[in-house]
Amino acid sequence: MTIVDELQATIEQMIQPGKGILAADESLPTIAKRFAPVGVESTEENRRAYRTLLFTAPGIEKYIGAVILFEETLGQTRDDGTPLPEVLAQRGIVPGVKVDKGKGPLPFSPGDLITYGLDGLAERLQQYKKQGARFAKWREVYPITDHNPTPLAISANAEMLARYAALCQEQGIVPIVEPEVLMDGDHRLSRCAEVTEAVQKEIFHALYRHHVMLEYMILKPNMVLPGKEHPIKARPREVAEATVRVFRRTVPVAVPGINFLSGGLGPEDATAYLNAMNAEYPDAPWMLSFSFGRALQQPVLRAWRGKEQNAPAAQRALLKRARLNGAAQLGRYRAAMEKVD
């Protein structure tokens, strides 16, 4: 099998109608923040137990086509000794891994950020592939202020994403390219649209320069939204219209799938916004789906609370949110469905 054959097989399994991606790749500091409100200590065993609960939830393969893992999880096993990536693969779910090493300030560009982790990435990808990973994910972050992101930040972050994506494809691994324009702040929806458009244009210029094959990548962007502190909340139709307009201007039709991040949205809002895109624009040239972390897991953590006896209820909570988002991918979600377990 050639590298292109590998990439094609992975993409076909990841991009399916009614399915999306579960982001379960929280870093150690982030998972500790998720566990703290429900009274769970972030030990390796608790992380293993929680992620095993997610991956073994009955029926999730109907709505989840792939799962993004944290590096630690690639080496963990189910109670019977089965590696967790294999647990997913046995259910027809594609395992992948987050490969960036976190973010920090971009030098000489106050307020902007850059992500670390390119050094040694090719060798790490080879090891991850041996452990069962068939795709990878890299995130760049763009805070919005009156001055940020600067042209330097937009250019530097695009270059990082493109270099990462090229390294992945060279190894036969599908790259998820994740540029997140943050919701933090009180900016208007129009400002988010302006920044998102500039970011996406620069990213695709960089991907072209680095010879990334667009047919064998997935874009994981933010939706176009007003800032969290903005006094007026956008309606689903407004979000759908603004988001699709920006992506029609910037994302080539060769890209097979756009799997949106939830970025701090509540579960119901994330689902409603995704549904509006698919209901209003059923002929969009890409499959519009989800790659949610918190918006899928928040109800699960509340149900679980670190107690083994709560695992079935937690798995039902995951299945419900996965099912509702699967319906949203098809444009068939209705708010009344939230009341049905």
* Residue positions annotated with a catalytic role: 178, 220
Question: Using H for helix, E for strand and C for coil, what is the string for 131-198?
Answer: CCCCEEEEEEEECCCCCCCCHHHHHHHHHHHHHHHHHHHHCCCEEEEEEEECCCCCCCHHHHHHHHHH
Pick from 331, 329, 303, 306: which is nearest to 317 by CA? 303
CA angle 264, 270, 273 (to 5 degrees): 135
Strands 257-260 and 287-292: parallel
Q: How far apart are CA 176 and CA 137, in angstroms?
A: 5
Token readout for 16 is 């399916």
Cβ-based burial of 308 (10 A; exposed 0-12, middle 13-18, buried ≥19): exposed
Query: Which whole-number Å values give the CA distances from 167 to 73, 80, 124, 256, 307, in the listed order?
Result: 22, 34, 11, 19, 41
Provide the angle, in degrees to the nearest 10, between the axes of the packed helices 294-304 and 28-35. 50
Contact 142, 187 (CB under 8 A): no
Token readout for 294 is 């918190």
Provide the b/e sequence for 96-116 (b: ≥16 CB within 10 Å): bbbbbbeeeebeebeebbbbe
Q: How far apart are CA 246 and CA 251, in angstroms?
A: 8
Contact 286, 258 (CB under 8 A): yes
